[in-house]
Amino acid sequence: MGFDGGGTKTECVLMDETGRVLSRGRSGPSNPFRVGVESASEALQSAARDALQSAGRAIHEVAAVVAGLAGTTRHDLAERMRADLSRLFPGSAVKLCTDSELALEAVGESPAIVLVAGTGSAAIGRDAAGRVVRIGGYGPQISDEGSAYDIGRKAVAMALRDRDRRGSDSPLGSRILCDLGFTAWDALNDRAQTSADEVFPKIFPIVIEAAAAGDECAQILLRDAAKDLAALVRRLIERLALGDVPFILAKTGGMIGRKPIFDEALDVALREGAPRASISSLSVAPAEAAARLALELLAPPKSAAIPR
């Protein structure tokens, strides 16, 4: 069984011994840094139950589990999630990694960089010698530039600035309020103070729709986010000394593949900052990559092509 858990959702893939996908499961967020260890564990349990039911299997039949969870760069949180997974799957081999490590595993080749652009943002890379470096993703207050959360927060800030200037809401501002079901900014602001993740990331789909429909403010927000994400990749290229080397640059996360207007803006920004990279989206779904890694826990591949 493989898990891919982020700030918005958890996906689970159940695979048989031959690598055939038996079923998939889905649940809410399982990033323990954002939702807490308890909620994150419950989300994993719920996605697993979902997948097991569809396949008509029981939890004790699961021989190996790999979970790639956002927010587990934090050693303490990783340890607690690993303990919960071992309790949840007694007798199984259990391996935990971050969502970005999982994505890098899914790429396989080296050198490579994976850009994670979802509720949060981060970049991870591996040079030809196998050295892995991860940057960004320190949480929404001080990091996660260009992420769905960041776009949402900036969209609200922009809407309030526009309102200050004109004395009334901009079209994008009205749309955000209305689509999120608030009648006043105070109410949205209150909700954001207590549950920011319930507000800001949900604004990204509104912004991307508005941008596609021609809203200039929304287009500016997306262009700025594309630049921020490309800057994250540029910092990693510098750190891994990949400036003059051809390498694979894979994009993954909930922001990718939604609307051409954003994917194209991101590719333009990435090509500018990384002219020697071959840019693609991740070809395997991360939860499926996790399930394949789980198979390898049972029977390690004979030729270890991927430095791990």
* Binding stretches for its own copies (CB under 8 A): 74, 133, 135-136, 138-139, 141-143, 145, 153, 156-157, 160-161, 164-167, 185-186, 189, 192-193, 196, 232, 235-236, 238-239
State the minimum distance, in angstroms, from the CB of residue 85 to its own copies.
22
Q: Which is nearer to its own copies, 213 or 241 (CB)?
A: 241
Q: Which is nearer to its own copies, 22 or 138 (CB)?
A: 138
Q: Which residue has the tokens 């920004």?
A: 269
Q: Which is nearer to its own copies, 30 or 92 (CB)?
A: 30
Q: Which is nearer to its own copies, 167 or 300 (CB)?
A: 167
Distance CA 183, CA 163 (A): 15
Cα angle, residue 157 at apex, residues 152 and 159 outer, rounded to 5°: 95
State the minimum distance, in angstroms, from the CB of residue 19 to its own copies.
36
CB 10 within 8 A of CB 67: no
61 closest CA partner among 101, 102, 91: 91
Q: Which is nearer to its own copies, 156 or 270 (CB)?
A: 156
The residue length of the chain stands at 308
State the minimum distance, in angstroms, from the CB of residue 234 to its own copies.
9
State the minimum distance, in angstroms, from the CB of residue 134 to its own copies.
9
State the minimum distance, in angstroms, from the CB of residue 302 to its own copies.
35
Which stretches of the chain are DSSP H helices? 32-35, 37-55, 75-88, 99-107, 148-166, 171-179, 185-194, 204-212, 216-240, 260-273, 286-298
Distance CA 222, CA 208 (A): 7
